[in-house]
Structure 1
Amino acid sequence: MPSNAKDVQVKLVTEIRDEDERQTMEVTESGQFFQRGDTQVLTFTEHPDEGDAIKTMVTVKPNHVSIKRSGGVEMRQVFQKGLETENLYHHTYGDFHMRTFTEELEFLSLEEAPVGKLSLKYEMTLNHEVTQAHRLTLTFEEES
């Protein structure tokens, strides 16, 4: 980690809406946050109840967010407001093609506020079949 890395507490809330159903997942982990130029990076490791740990790296640049996950799942998802991106999601149960259209992208850095926040609203289509509305909210604050 770079010398300017800060230890942070991370809370990730993902909400998926599919017609009448709503599913919410919440993860709280310790992580690291650092900035290099106009790029800000947040890393943490998820420890799911089942399966292997998942390392997550969130990279934020102006109007561009990339979420890379490795370990129990493998994926790199890119978010750019008003654009559609594609990637593969490698999971224990197989590979899934993902198409993501980003509707909203907002980021507040630890340089701007005591609690950093990433908000994403997007539609994701899995394997060209199922389209669901997603909302991802990631908050992080320096550990004292």
Structure 2
Amino acid sequence: MPTNAKDVQVKLVTEIRDDDQSQTMEVSEPGQFFKRGDTQVLTFTEHPEEGDAIKTMITVKPNHVSIKRSGGVEMRQMFQEGLETENLYHHTYGDFHMRTYTEEMEFRSLEEAPQGRLYLSYQMTLNHEVTQAHRLTLTFEEESES
């Protein structure tokens, strides 16, 4: 980790809407945040109730967000507002093809406010079949010195 890394508390809320059904998942974990040039990076490890830990690295550049997950699942998802991107999602149950169309993308850094925030609204199609509306809201704030 770079010397300018800050310890942060991360809260990730993912909402998935499929016709009239809705599902919300929430994760809260300690993490690290650092900046290098115009790139800002947030890392944390999810500890799901079942399966292996998942390391997550979110890289934010102007007009571009990348989410890389490794461990229990393997994937690298790219987000660019108004564009469609594709990737493979490697899971215990097999590989899934993902197509992501990013509708909206907002980012607020810790330099701009006491709480950083990443918001993504996108349509995701899994294995060329099911398309679902997703909203991802990630908030993070520096751990207070105690």
Is TM (by shorter chain) over 0.5? yes
Equivalent pairs: percent with the same residue?
A: 87
Tell me the distance in 1 between the aligned counterparts of 2:24 and 2:113.
Answer: 26
In structure 1, what is the equivalent of residue 134 of structure 2? Answer: 134
Tell me the distance in 2 between the aligned counterparts of 1:26 and 1:119.
Answer: 14
Superposed displacement of residue 29, structure 1: 0.0
Q: Which amino acid aligns with 1:111?
A: E
Tell me the distance in 2 between the aligned counterparts of 1:66 and 1:54.
Answer: 16
**Normalization by structure 1: what TM-score?**
1.00
Structure 1 spans left out of the alignment, 5+ residues: none
Structure 2 spans left out of the alignment, 5+ residues: none
In structure 2, what is the equivalent of residue 72 of structure 1? Answer: 72
* Runs of 4+ that moved beyond 6 A: none
In structure 2, what is the equivalent of residue 44 of structure 1? Answer: 44
In structure 2, what is the equivalent of residue 84 of structure 1? Answer: 84
In structure 2, what is the equivalent of residue 35 of structure 1? Answer: 35
In structure 2, what is the equivalent of residue 8 of structure 1? Answer: 8
Tell me the distance in 2 between the aligned counterparts of 1:123 and 1:36.
Answer: 30
How many equivalent residue pairs? 144
What is the RMSD computed on CA atoms of the aligned residues? 0.2
Tell me the distance in 2 between the aligned counterparts of 1:20 and 1:94.
Answer: 27
